[in-house]
Homo-oligomer: A and B are copies of this chain.
Amino acid sequence: MLSEYRVAVAGATGLVGRTILRILEERSFPVGEIRLLATERSAGQEIEFAGRKVKVQIARPEAFEGMDLAFFAVGTDASRILAPIARDRGAVAIDKSNAFRMDPAVPLVVPEVNADALAGHRGIIASPNCSTIQMVAVLKPLDTAAGLARVVVSTYQSVSGSGRGGMVELESQLQDLHSGRKAAVRFYPRQVAMNLIPHIDSFLPDGYTGEERKMILETRKILGLPELPVTATTVRVPVMVGHAEAVNVETRRKLTRAEALRALAAAPGVVVMDDPAAGLYPTPLDAAGRDEVLVGRVREDPSIENGLDLWIVADNLRKGAATNAVQIAEHLVSARLIG
């Protein structure tokens, strides 16, 4: 185990990249040298990290030379090119994009759920889609307790899930409406302010979107249940930060509400907020700024023999992206899988 790690962050000026930097600081990850990488457009900017000003460099192949660890908070195409370069130069790449998630040779990891998948990694590790992460954190303890039989999920995803562009779009459309103007649609396929867009990522031939497909396939891979029946409808909502999910679960054995709550309360990284009588349930505002996955509205669903309804909320920038990536790095360090 090294006492300090040389860390590169590709996409350091983006919303998730900056959140990775904040979380490395917050969790006192043992960073020795840090290299902030971005496209030519952002190069030269200075970003503060742990009290020092660090100049952003262009994410050229040489920039990964000598790094122990490289976080990738860039698009899928950029990751596909850069992550193998980082790996070939000796760094372990932790990638939040969709580039390698379903690659059988690449572990897809939510540390609380399947940290064991990190053993035997080959230099690239994938962090799942934001909506998958928060769902599997809650599904795992239910699977352990009673076996999962089927999952039906509807998502309520905030605009920050699309990066800064989504936040600017919502803000400027609200400004337009407030000023009595028509909302200008620039970023999303439809107006998002005062509206809902059931269209995240592109449509596939079977009518599901890429986002829905990711939730289905990634959930199966992370839980190690390759045949698990899952269906998903993913929807963009006019909320800045925090994704929510209404999840209907069928288990193999009956779980009462009390048993489900016990299993969830004992699950790492999960916080139960469930006391209807006291008006306690999680909302995106409760999740924003937190690293845990919040769950509430746990109900026995009498429409099926072993049914449960749940409401799951998390900060999509933190646990849904940056925190999960940093937790992967922490696990690599503590399990001596790096350096």
Residues of chain A touching chain B, judged by Cβ–Cβ distance below 8 Å, are: 150-152, 154, 156, 174-175, 178, 189-191, 194-199, 203, 206-208, 229-231, 233, 235, 237-240, 242, 244, 246, 248, 257, 276-277, 279, 281, 283-285, 296-304, 307, 309, 311, 313
Contact = CB atoms under 8 A, between A and B. Distances in A.
A237 B284 CA distance: 11
B237 A301 contact: no
Contact of A283 (B195, B229, B248, B302): B195
Contacts of A198: 244, 246, 281, 283, 296-297, 311
Contact of A196 (B229, B237, B301): B237
Nearest to A209: B276
17 contacts: A152-B152, A154-B154, A156-B156, A156-B235, A156-B237, A174-B174, A178-B178, A190-B285, A194-B238, A194-B285, A197-B283, A198-B283, A198-B296, A203-B277, A206-B299, A207-B276, A235-B246
Nearest to A230: B303
Nearest to A229: B303
A299 B154 contact: no
B244 A297 contact: no
A207 B301 CA distance: 10
A198 B277 CA distance: 14
A233 B284 contact: no
Contacts of A307: 231
A44 to B, nearest CB: 31
A304 B150 contact: yes
Contacts of A203: 276-277
By secondary structure, the A interface counts as mixed
Contacts of A208: 299
Nearest to A150: B303
Nearest to A313: B196
Nearest to A240: B194
Given A297-B207, A298-B207, A299-B206, A229 B304 contact: yes
Contacts of A257: 207
A314 to B, nearest CB: 13
Q: Please provide the 7 A-B residue pairs with the shortest distance between their CB atoms, ordered closest to farther.
A: A229-B303, A154-B154, A203-B276, A154-B246, A207-B299, A233-B246, A231-B303
Contacts of A175: 178
Contacts of A199: 279, 281
A276 B199 CA distance: 9
A248 B231 contact: yes
Given A194-B240, A195-B285, A230-B303, 20 more contacts: A156-B156, A190-B283, A190-B285, A196-B242, A196-B244, A196-B283, A196-B313, A197-B283, A198-B246, A203-B276, A203-B277, A206-B299, A207-B276, A207-B298, A207-B300, A208-B299, A231-B248, A231-B301, A231-B303, A233-B311
A190 B285 CA distance: 9
